[in-house]
Amino acid sequence: MAMSYIREILLSSLLALTSFAVSAQTFVFTAIPDEDETKLMERFQGIADYLQEELGVEVRYIPVKSYAAAVSAFRNNQVQLAWFGGLSGVQARSLVPGSQALAQGVEDVDFYTYFIAHKSTGLEASDTLPEGIRGKTFTFGSKGSTSGRVMPEHYIRQTFSEAPEDVFSRVGFSGNHTRTLRLVEAGTYEVGALNYAVWEKELENGNVNTDEVSVIWKTPAYPDYQWTIRGDVDARYGEGFTDKVRQALLNMDDPELLESFPRSGFIPTANENYEPIRSVAEQIGILD
C-alpha cells in the first residue's frame, strides 16, 4: 500500500515536471490593445501561426486588457515578445535589462497622429493645430498610447503652453484608437486624437462617416510601434534565438498578415531610435 502510494506521488510529480517543461518552451507574445479585441485576435493568431512555423517552437498569443497590462506581462516574463507602441516599448525595456527593440513597421519610422473633429465644431483641415479646438470636449486614446496620448499632448502643450485640462472643457480617455474614432463620429466628444493608420484603414474599409467626422490636423512625424523581446530569451530557448525571431519578423511578407497591422513590411530598429519618445514622455511627466 505504502509503495503504491509512493509510486503515485512520484508519477504525479513526474507528470507535473513534464508539463512544466513543455509549457516552459512555449514562446508567448502579446500586443498593446490599440484596437477592438476581435480585430486583435484575428491579427495575432495569424502571427502566432507564422512564428511557430518559422521558429520551430510552440508560439502562443495572449490578449491583454490595457497598455499597462502589456508592460506588466512583459516585465513578469508572462510574455517574451510584444508588439508595443513607442511609449510602452520604452517602459517595458526599462524594466527588463537587456531587452531589445527588434523590428518596426516601415511606416513606424515616420508615424503620425491625426486630430479629428465632429462636423458640429465647424473645424476644418489646417496646417497647424487650430486655435478653434480650445474650449471643446476632447478625447485621447489610452493613457499609455504614444500616438493617442503622448504625442498629441506634447503638441497641445507646445501650441497652447497649457495642459490639455486647461485647453479643453472636458478631457477623456477612450481606451483605444477605434473607440476614439467612434466617440468623435457620434459627437460624444467634439475633438479627438488617434493614430493615422487606424483612421486610414477604417476609411479604406468604409467604416468612417465622413459627413460626421474629419481630419483637422496631422502632427509632425515621430517613431512609434515596434516588436520588443526580453533580454533573457537566448538563455531559455537557445543561443541565437533572438536573432532568429528578428529574422522571422523581417522576413514576414504575407500580404494578408501585413495588411492586418496595417504595415507594408518590417525593418530593423534599435532601442536608441525611441529616445525621442522617452524624452517627450519625461517632459510631460508620464514616464515613471
Per-residue pLDDT tens digits for 18-42: 333 434 589 999 999 877 777 788 8
Q: What is the domain extent for residue 47?
A: 25-108+223-283
Same domain, 228 and 103: yes
On whether both 183 and 214 belong to a single domain, the answer is yes
CATH for 94 = 3.40.190.10
Does residue 275 contact residue 89 with C-beta atoms inside 8 Å? no
Verify that 119 and 205 share a domain, yes or no. yes
Last residue of a domain, which of 192, 218, 244? 218
Dmax (CA) of the chain: 85
Residue 75 has pLDDT above 90, yes or no: yes
Asked if 102 and 118 sit in the same domain, the reply is no
Report how far residue 145's alpha carbon sits from residue 18's, in angstroms, rounded to the nearest whole number: 40
The reply to whether 68 and 143 lie within a common domain is: no
pLDDT > 70 in the chain, percent: 91
213 and 228 together in one domain: no
> What pLDDT was estimated at residue 37?
76
Residue where a domain stops, chosen among 172, 198, 218: 218
pLDDT at 288: 62
In a domain, 122, yes or no: yes
Identify the weakest region by mean pLDDT among 12-16, 124-128, 252-256: 12-16
Q: Are residues 191 and 246 in the same domain?
A: no
Give the cell for residue 10: 512520484
Are 200 and 269 in a shared domain?
no
Question: Using CA atoms, how far apart are residues 30 and 179, in angstroms rounded to an integer?
Answer: 20
Query: Is residue 154 domain-resident?
Result: yes
Residue 6 counted as domain residue = no
Q: How many domains does the chain have?
A: 2
Q: Has residue 14 been placed in a domain?
A: no
Whether 89 and 31 share a structural domain = yes
- Is pLDDT of 175 > 80? yes
In this structure, is residue 239 part of a structural domain?
yes
Domain boundary among 218, 247, 262: 218
Phi, psi (degrees; rounded to nearest 5) at 213: -145, 145
**pLDDT at residue 84 tops 90:** yes
What is the reported pLDDT for 54?
96
Residue 236 lies in a domain: yes
Tell me what pLDDT residue 24 has: 54
Neighbours of 59 (CB within 10 A): 22
125 in any annotated domain: yes
**Is 8 a member of any domain?**
no
- For residue range 131-171, list pLDDT tens digits in order: 999 999 999 999 888 999 999 999 999 999 999 999 999 99
Tally of helices (H runs) and strands (E runs) in the chain: 12, 11
Residues 64 and 102 occupy one common structural domain = yes
Are 133 and 212 within one domain? Answer: yes
DSSP 8-state secondary structure symbol assigned to residue 146: I
Q: CB under 8 Å to 187, separation ≥6 — which residues?
A: 118, 120, 212
**Residue 276, helix vs strand vs coil:** helix
Cα 165 from chain centroid?
A: 25
